[in-house]
Structure 1
Amino acid sequence: MEPVPGEPAAVARLGSERALVVADYHAGIEAGLRYERGVELESNAAVRRVRLLGLLDRIDPDRLVVLGDLGHRIGGSADEEGDELDELLGAVLDRVPLTLVRGNHDAGVPARFESMDDDSLLVTDSGGVRLGRVGFVHGHTWPAREVVESDVVCVGHEHPAVRLEDSVGGGRKERAWLRGPLRPEPFAEHLGLDVDDLDWRAPEIIVFPAFNDRSGGTWVNVDGQGFLSPFLPEALRGDETEAFLLDGTRLGPYRSV
């Protein structure tokens, strides 16, 4: 699994396939923000689509994997979001098959997939899927056992970000990757197993930054900001889990950034 420099995306080797992996696309977020918060923003749908299609053209993968929240509106996709999804899916499927790991915002997305009647689309359940030696889960629920028993576990949902300050107290927020080893105990307990019963491969977890730069996120180095996933941060080895900026800058253990 290798991040694409400067982008909230990575390339995964899945046996005979190479996949481009992104998380938290949140199509139609502007309509959601207008409805949920009264925030008026011009739609960035075309920019998002061009960015993703540009990555597909640049990387030339065999598959696109979206780590959940392809859409934004919980409970269904309609109007602006639906139009954005239809145009995006049509353009993506002209290039590669798509695997969507179901996220908490994706309730209405599979119905649009079904209407397209295309076998190049795969939607997993919320427990995720293992492709090759890599496990994928959105992160709003516990991962399936096969995902935990992978060499690498890829997670979305958190939209991790760090707050960086300069010498005079000015600050800015930057999207970030989190990477580090996983602890088996929380997963064994959740599955009702002894740790020794797991086919534990000492996997690395990779928590993906959100592809959508308007979707907010978890500030992992700010007191009072908690993780959203039910297995984080308990499943992390905190001192060994590091934060990286999109340009590859290594910030060290996320807790001390």
Structure 2
Amino acid sequence: MTDIQPIHGIPALRVGSIMVIADLHIGLEAQLISKGFHITSRTEDMFDCIIDNASDCNKLIVLGDVKNSVPGSSKQEYREIPDFFCRLTEHFNTVTVVRGNHDTNIEEYLPPEVHTAPASGLRIGDVGFIHGHTWPSAEVMACDTLVLAHNHPAMYFVDGVKKQTAEPCWLRGGFVSGGDRYLEHPKEFIVVPAFNRILGGSPVNAENGEFLGPLMKPEFMDLDDAGIYLLDGIYLGKRKDNLVNCRLSSRYRRD
């Protein structure tokens, strides 16, 4: 069984010797600037965070949404993505990007040393990796643990005066079925929080909230009993025991 553990304090997962991150959305700052926000690029901060926390990892997997613009691209994406990944290849033996829904023509931005995997996912040993916006392959679904992203999971808090805050979190639970589509299914799933902290997140504990992607449905996953963990490792309990009535603003609903 492959050892799978969150890396303490950051939205990254260690799967054996592999570091797994998701939802970089490089170019988001350009979009926000065009709307009047005053913000600087976080791409260098993300690079430093990866390198500073990758001491035990010699491989890197990015679970999709490397770029932000869809369709099209911003000058920031053209300028920053190639350099970002070129430098990553100097620190890891292999770097792999699993396609997300924002990654149209992502090969145009990546150095030749970077591998790409289709949106249907990648399987390494008993672990499967997908972005999560589309159906995984049967091979990926036959794994023991499925690691996916796309939802930017966050724990939503409401205090006594109705002030609302959200913190990035991990969601980890079990599969119940492969539905009518798959003969085999994983034993468990892990939803990875967005690596770009500017994104905010989608509340995993919203009453009547819906998750993005075809797999994150009660038909396939036991979402009620899934465990919620903050980035510092604190276990908050099962999702069904943390449900709150909250207003979903655009800040928490990026895909």
Is 1:180 the equivalent of 2:176? no
Q: Contact 1:74–1:108 at 8 Å: present in 2 too?
A: no
User: Which segment is superposed worse, 148-157 or 170-179?
Assistant: 170-179
Is 1:107 the equivalent of 2:104? yes
Match of 1:117 among 92, 99, 112: 112
Is 1:222 the equivalent of 2:225? no
Is 1:94 the equivalent of 2:97? no
Is 1:170 the equivalent of 2:163? yes
What secondary structure sits across from 1:95 in the alignment? coil
Q: CA deviation at 1:223?
A: 2.8
> Which residue in the other structure is 2:58 paired with?
62
Structure 2 residue runs of 5 or longer lacking an equivalent are 243-255
Change (3 A) 1:38 1:223: farther
Q: CA deviation at 1:176?
A: 0.7
Is 1:51 the equivalent of 2:49? yes
What secondary structure sits across from 1:179 in the alignment? strand
What secondary structure sits across from 1:86 in the alignment? helix
**Equivalent position amino acid for 1:71 in 2:** K
Change (3 A) 1:220 1:212: same
Q: How does 1:189-228 map to 2 (within 5 A)?
A: 189-191=180-182, 197-198=183-184, 200=185, 202-228=186-212
> Which residue in the other structure is 1:6 paired with?
9
Structure 1 residue runs of 5 or longer lacking an equivalent are 192-196
**Equivalent position amino acid for 2:66 in 1:** L
> Which residue in the other structure is 1:28 paired with?
27
> Which residue in the other structure is 1:139 paired with?
132
The number of aligned residues is 237
Instruction: Give, in whole Å, the separation in 1 of the partners of 2:96 and 2:104.
Output: 15
Question: Between the two proteins, what is the percent identity of the paired residues?
Answer: 33
Q: CA deviation at 1:255?
A: 2.9
> Which residue in the other structure is 1:148 paired with?
141
Q: Contact 1:161–1:219 at 8 Å: present in 2 too?
A: yes
CA-atom RMSD in angstroms: 1.8
Q: So what's the TM-score if we normalise by structure 1?
A: 0.86
More helix per residue: 1 or 2?
1
What secondary structure sits across from 1:75 in the alignment? coil
Instruction: Give, in whole Å, the separation in 1 of the partners of 2:209 and 2:232.
Output: 24
> Which residue in the other structure is 2:248 paired with?
none
Instruction: Give, in whole Å, the separation in 2 of the partners of 1:76 and 1:124.
Output: 21
Instruction: Give, in whole Å, the separation in 2 of the partners of 1:237 and 1:224.
Output: 15
> Which residue in the other structure is 1:252 paired with?
237
Q: Contact 2:177–2:221 at 8 Å: present in 1 too?
A: no
What secondary structure sits across from 2:202 in the alignment? coil
Q: CA deviation at 1:90?
A: 1.5
1:98-155 CA-to-partner distances (Å, cap 9, x unmatched) read 1111000111322222xx332xx21111100101111000000011111111011000
Is 1:243 the equivalent of 2:228? yes
